[in-house]
Copies of this chain bind each other. A is one copy, B any other.
C-alpha cells in the first residue's frame, strides 16, 4: 500500500521480503515430525529408567510390576494423544493449552497453564541436557565425570546459538531424530531376534548386581503408593506431547488434519519405543537403584560412590549390540543429540509462548513483536539462567530434576482437557447439524476421559512427588503467576488512565498557540539544519535559545549570529552554575505560564554517531535535557538529527539486526496466517 514509485526500490523491497519468507516455508509432515517430536520422543531415553529406579526401592522382586506400569503409561499416552488430536482440530491457531484454558475456563486458568508451561520450558532444558550428558557419558566417560560443567557448557552453547539467531532448520532436526528412532527400533528388533530366534542370552552390564531394597517386602497400601510413584515417574514419557498443539500454523494444509496425523504417529512411535526398552531391560536383567552407591551390591559389597549408573537405554544397547560396538556408539550419540535438540525446542517455545502472553498483556508488550531481538534475548537469557541454576543445584542429575518436571506438564494437560470439555459443551448448545453434533459428542467424550485421567495422574504426581521436588516447580509457577498478574494490572491501570474521553474534557483542551524554541550551542551544520527545519514548521513564535555557560563562547555566538544575519531572534539564558538543563526547563515553563493553552515545541539539533564509544562523547546534555523535558507538561520535544559519516556503520548494523531470525519462527509458521480464526472441524 505504500507509495513505491521508483522501480529499483520496489525490486529491492520485494527481494528483501522474499528472503525473509525463505525460512518460513510450511512444514511437510516428514519434517514436522522431527521438529516437534524431538522433545516427546527423547523422553523415552529417561522415562523407562525412572520406573525401574522407583521399583528398586522395594527390591528386585518389584521389577515384575514394570510391564503393568508400562501398560498404564501406554493407556495414558493414547488418552493424551487422542485428547490433543481434538485440541489441534479445535484450536489451529497455535495458542495451545494456554489458549484453550484461557478461552474456556477464564484468564486465571489460562494464566495457571501459562505459568506451568513456562516452568516446564525451564525444566525441559535442565532435564534434557542432564540426561543427554548422562547418555553421552555412557560412551565418553570424561563427560559424565564432569557432569555439571559439561551440562552448563551445553546450556551456554545453546544459548549463544539462539542469541545469534540460528534458524531452526527442519533438516537439522530430522537427521538425529530419525537416527535415534531408527536406532531404537533396530535395537528392539535385533534384541528380539537374538532373544527369540537365536536364543542368545543378552546380559546388561549391571545384570550381575544385586539390589539391596530400602524397604524390603513392601505390601498393601505402601506397595500401591510405590507403584503409583513408579507410574508418575514413567509419565515423564509424556512430556512434550503438547508441543504439536502450539505448532499447528507451521503445518501444510490441511493444517489441523496433518497436525493430528503427526500427533498420532508420534504417540505410536513413543509408546513402541517405551515398551520396547522396558521389555529389553527386563530381558537383559538391567539393575538400577535410586542410590546405586550403597544399594547396588556386587560380590557382597556395595559399589561405592565412584560407580556411575548408566541410563537404561545405553545399558540395553550395550547388551544388544555389544560393549563398545559401533552401533552402541551411534545410538548413544544420537540419543544425546536428540536430547539436546529437545532442550533447544524450549528455547524456541519460550519466546513463542511469551509473544502470546504479551499479546494478552501479561508480559511486556515488546515480546509480542516478531523478531524483537532485545526482548527475545532477555527471554532466552532468563530461560538459560534458570535452567543453569537448576542444573547446578541438582548436580545435573536427571533423576532428581524429573521429580520437578512432571507436575507442570499435568497441570496444563488437565486444565486444557477440562477447557476442551467446556468448549464442546458451548458448541453443542448452538449446533443443530446432527452429524456435527455427533462428532462433537464423541470429541467431548474423549476430552472428558482425558481430563479425568490426566487429573487423576496430576493428583497422583502431586501426592507422590511433592516432597521429592514438585514443590520447587509449584513455587516457580506461583512466581510466574504473580509477576504476570502484576504486569497485567499495570497495563490495565495505564489503559484506564489514557482512555480517550468521549467529550473533550478540560484535560484535553485544544491547545491554541505554539512557541518554537531551537536550542543552539554553536553555529554548526546541525544547528543550521535545525533552524531551517524549525522555520518550515510555521509556529506562532520562533526563537533560538542558548545557555550562557561560558561568557566568551556566548559572545562569539552572538557575533557570529549577527554576522551571518540569521533571521531568528537569539535569546541567551544566564547560568551561573554552568548548568544547561535547569535554565532551559525554567524558561520553557515560563513561556507556558503566560497562557495555559500554549504549547512549547523544543527543537534540539543532534549528531548521530555510529559507535557506542562515540555516543559516550556526544549528546549527553541533550539527552538529559530531553529526559527532563518529557516530564514537563505542555512540551513537545523534537530531535533534528545530523548524520555524521560514522553513523553509516550503525545503520548497517541496525539493518542486519532486523534481518535476524527469531528463535521459534519455524514452529510458529508464517506470520500472516498466524491470525487464522478457529474453526471446529
A interface residues (Cβ-Cβ under 8 A, vs B) = 1-6, 9, 13, 17, 20, 364-366, 368-372, 374-375, 487, 490-491, 494-495, 497-501, 507-508, 510-514, 523-529, 532-533, 536-539, 549-552, 571-574, 576-583, 586-587, 590-591, 593-594, 599, 601, 603, 606-609, 614, 616-618, 620-621, 624, 626-631, 633, 635-645, 647, 650-651, 654, 658, 671-672, 675
Contact = CB atoms under 8 A, between A and B. Distances in A.
19 contacts: A5-B593, A365-B621, A368-B578, A369-B578, A369-B579, A369-B580, A371-B577, A374-B624, A490-B617, A497-B525, A497-B644, A508-B525, A511-B533, A514-B536, A536-B599, A537-B539, A538-B538, A577-B671, A578-B671
Nearest to A606: B630
Nearest to A631: B651
A636 B640 contact: yes
A592 to B, nearest CB: 11
Given A593-B5, A637-B639, A620 B364 contact: yes
A374 B616 CA distance: 12
B638 A638 contact: yes
Contact of A617 (B364, B497, B650): B364
B631 A650 contact: yes
A202 to B, nearest CB: 55
A633 B637 contact: no
Q: Which of A500, A603, A608 has the most chain B CB within a 10 Å cutoff?
A: A500
A335 to B, nearest CB: 37
A641 B647 contact: no
A646 B164 CA distance: 37
B577 A370 contact: yes
Given A2-B586, A641-B630, A500 B514 contact: no
A577 B20 contact: yes
Contacts of A580: 369
Contacts of A533: 511, 514, 599, 601, 636
Given A511-B532, A578-B671, 11 more contacts: A17-B576, A365-B618, A371-B577, A494-B644, A511-B533, A533-B636, A536-B539, A537-B601, A538-B539, A601-B638, A631-B654
Contacts of A536: 511-514, 539, 599
A192 B510 CA distance: 87
Contact of A614 (B5, B370, B375, B490): B490
A80 B606 CA distance: 47
Nearest to A650: B631
A642 B607 contact: no
Contacts of A581: 658
Contacts of A643: 630-631, 633
Nearest to A366: B620
A409 B658 CA distance: 52
A213 to B, nearest CB: 53
Contact of A500 (B513, B523, B591, B672): B523
Counting from the closest, the 9 A-B pairs by CB-CB distance are A366-B620, A638-B638, A498-B524, A630-B641, A370-B578, A514-B536, A631-B651, A498-B525, A538-B538
B528 A500 contact: yes
B529 A514 contact: no
A498 B644 contact: yes
A656 B82 CA distance: 63
Given A576-B671, A617-B487, A631-B608, A499 B525 contact: yes
A636 B637 contact: no
Given A494-B644, A499-B524, A511-B536, A617 B2 contact: no
A497 B5 CA distance: 33
Contacts of A538: 537-539
A498 B514 contact: no
Contacts of A626: 639
Nearest to A587: B2
A9 B576 contact: no
Contacts of A551: 675
Contacts of A616: 364
A518 to B, nearest CB: 11
Contacts of A375: 620
Q: Which of A9, A639, A643 has the most chain B CB within a 10 Å cutoff?
A: A639
Contact of A532 (B508, B524, B629): B508
A645 B587 contact: no
Contact of A508 (B498, B529, B608): B529
Contacts of A624: 372, 374
A133 B83 CA distance: 73
Nearest to A494: B644
Q: Which of A513, A525, A644 has the most chain B CB within a 10 Å cutoff?
A: A525
A458 B640 CA distance: 52
Contacts of A550: 675
Contacts of A593: 5-6, 9
A143 to B, nearest CB: 37
Contact of A658 (B582, B590, B614): B582
Q: Which of A369, A524, A671 has the most chain B CB within a 10 Å cutoff?
A: A369
A605 to B, nearest CB: 9
